Amino acid sequence: MAEGGSDLGRGALWIGGSRRPPASGTFAPVRDPSTGGIVGEAAVASDEEARAAVDAAAEREASWGGTPGHVRAQILHATAERLAADREPMATRIAREVGKPIADARVEVDRAVGVFRFAAEEVRQLGGETFPADAYERPAGNEHRFLFTVRDPIGVVVAIGPFNFPLNLLAHKIAPALAAGNPVVAKPTSAAPFTALRLAEHLDAAGLPPGVLNVVTGPGGRARSGPRRPPPHP
């Protein structure tokens, strides 16, 4: 990510595990609310690119959902460690994008680190319930049998991030979804696209397979007009 002085540079989309410029070449200014100055330019995704992000995630449904829990936990823990090591640069990025005091931005990074650690540990807690099938006399034939529930990934999750906590609240949506075996398409706030892209880079470096997380940036209307896929379960 190009940075220099007060300039965060030009953003990109994150689709299929890599950064890509918007096909249209369209960018939108990102302003520091505390100064009104432009700190960078966000890539504006087209409908086709939003679909490409969903398709990339959908292609990973089976493989990521079938990834062993201990592997998912390791990736989430590694992401937490990378965020912790990147605390000051990430906090500075948040402060410049949304005008947040740097002290508050540092706390936000710390909280996001905790979210990823918590999600990693929850992977080890995912389970179902069992019930005695012969608790009732009808229907007959249920003696010495039991019923059980199993938790399966639901499929592609869309994570829409707000402006006030651009890292932490996006982490609250991304980390649990990944922990449960669901690929994600993230639509961060237009105010802080660089924070979301940096998070995607950390997840990638932590070992997240390409396509499991995709980031689409641009105006909020893009999320409403983008493609809709039917839920995998009735």
Q: What is the mean pLDDT of residues 180-209?
A: 97
Give the DSSP per-residue string, the chain: ---BTTB--B--EEETTEEE--TT--EEEEE-TTT--EEEEEE---HHHHHHHHHHHHTTHHHHHTS-HHHHHHHHHHHHHHHHHTHHHHHHHHHHHH---HHHHHHHHHHHHHHHHHHHHHHTT----EEEGGGSS-STT-TT-EEE--------EEEE--SSSTTHHHHHHHHHHHHTT--EEEE--TT-HHHHHHHHHHHHHTTPPTTSEEE--S-THHHHHS-----S--
Q: Is the pLDDT of residue 180 over 70?
A: yes
Across 82-111, average pLDDT: 97
Q: How confident is the model at residue 65 (pLDDT cuts 50, 70, 90)?
A: very high
User: Which whole number is the average pLDDT over 126-130?
Assistant: 83
Q: Is the pLDDT at 99 greater than 50, yes or no?
A: yes
Question: What are the structural domains, with CATH classification, of the chain?
Answer: 24-225 (3.40.605.10)
pLDDT computed for residue 232 by the predictor: 54
What was the pLDDT predicted at 1?
38
Mean pLDDT of the chain: 91
Tell me, yes or no, if the pTM score tops 0.85.
Answer: yes
pLDDT computed for residue 54 by the predictor = 97
